[in-house]
Structure 1
Amino acid sequence: MKILQTFAALAVALGVTGQAQTPLKTVDHVDLQRYLGRWYEIARIPNRFEKKCVRDVTAEYAMDGSDITVRNTCVQADGKPNIAKGKAKVVDKTTSAKLKVTFFWPFYGNYWIIGLDPDYRWAIVGEPGRKYGWILARTPSLPAATLDAIRQQFAASGYRPADLIYPQQTTAH
């Protein structure tokens, strides 16, 4: 019996439920030049690599030759800044909506843009297994109605908006 419980727990932890998820759909096109720059993290699915980030979480993307540089920053609970530098590469040249990001080469993670405001004011980022997800904005906050609409789109992509956490954004950065 103990072995069956262990296998069941392992299956749940790995996301093996017997139900197939619908494939995650990305946006039709991303203009990378418009996407570059600073994004504020409005919300995220909790993850181990941002576990200590409690406020002022941002991501900055820039071109460095043919590479996209990534600089994630946040302030931890103890008040200390945390900076992670990485690189991204486009893996779907047709849409530029599917990228791979690394902060520790040779390990890459999926970074799929699954929602994007036509004026690039906000973005939804996810990955096919729906283990990770973010709501990003060009400003430290979004109007309530806009955020509600984004959460609905997040849910329509197969995510649970109730899982999101919302780090504090201050104007001190």
Structure 2
Amino acid sequence: MRTLFLLLLASLPLLATAAEPVRPVPALDLARYAGTWHEIAHLPMRFQKQCVGDITATYAARSDGLIDVRNACRNKRGEMESAQGVARPVPGRPGELEVRFAPRWLSFLPMVWADYWVIDLDPDYRWAVVGEPDRDYLWILSREPSMDRALFERLKARATAMGYDLQPLVMTAPLRD
């Protein structure tokens, strides 16, 4: 009994510092979000391993309510690569989108749609942090190809508070002092 009490007592600091839940922003104006975003950093993922720089995501609203997505990057050979996809808003959840890069004829399959949550956003849409509920993916984006170091550190701190492990974070753009 005493051992159990000591274990419980020792775990209290861990419980007190539990991560905040990952939450999307409460409002997202897709017209303002549209356009080109420069990636500043991301958590590693297999479908982005060939990218070494000049990473962008461009969003364009469509008349059917969907959003065209074009991801581009410079690869190790110095060539630009791109992938075309589509995103759809989640009804009633403004900061949540689902994105797919699979062919349209597979869009009926739920597994081809991935969560894309805007979890932090500048009121003027100058920067955004994108993640998903499992904390496997994270992107720090900016309208400019670089970011102020102090701002970057604040965004990292917010993501860490939500439980993201940023130890493997990959920097893909320069920071300004």
Which TM class, normalised by the smaller chain length? 0.7 to 0.9
Q: For the residues of structure 2 that align with 1:156 and 1:117, how far apart are their CA atoms? A: 18
Q: For the residues of structure 1 that align with 2:157 and 2:21, how far apart are their CA atoms? A: 18
Corresponding residue for 2:92?
A: 94
Corresponding residue for 2:83?
A: 84
User: After the TM superposition, which parts of structure 1 deviate over 2 Å for at least 4 consecutive aligned residues?
Assistant: 20-23
Residue 27 of structure 2: which of 26, 29, 32 is its match? 29
CA drift at 1:81? 1.1
Amino acid at match of 2:82: I
Corresponding residue for 1:54?
A: 52
Q: For the residues of structure 2 that align with 1:37 and 1:85, how far apart are their CA atoms? A: 14
CA drift at 1:163? 2.0
Q: 1:110 to 1:51 in 2, by over 3 A?
A: same
Amino acid at match of 2:56: T
Amino acid at match of 1:94: G
Corresponding residue for 2:163?
A: 158
Counterpart secondary structure, 1:97: strand
Corresponding residue for 1:4?
A: none
CA shift digits 1:34-81 (9 cap, x unpaired) = 101000000000001101000000000001212200000000011111
Is 1:131–2:136 an aligned residue pair?
Answer: yes
How big is the alpha-carbon RMSD for the aligned residues of Structure 1 and Structure 2? Answer: 1.6
Q: For the residues of structure 2 that align with 1:156 and 1:119, how far apart are their CA atoms? A: 23
Amino acid at match of 1:139: E
Amino acid at match of 1:97: G
Larger Rg: 2
CA drift at 1:27? 1.1
- Mind listing any 5+ residue stretches in structure 2 that lack a counterpart? 1-17, 107-111
Q: TM-score, normalised by structure 2?
A: 0.79
Q: For the residues of structure 1 that align with 2:61 and 2:173, how far apart are their CA atoms? A: 28
Counterpart secondary structure, 1:163: coil
Q: For the residues of structure 2 that align with 1:41 and 1:155, how far apart are their CA atoms? A: 18
Residue 111 of structure 1: which of 88, 113, 116 is its match? 116
CA drift at 1:98? 0.6
Amino acid at match of 2:143: R
Corresponding residue for 1:68?
A: 67
Q: For the residues of structure 2 that align with 1:87 and 1:51, how far apart are their CA atoms? A: 21
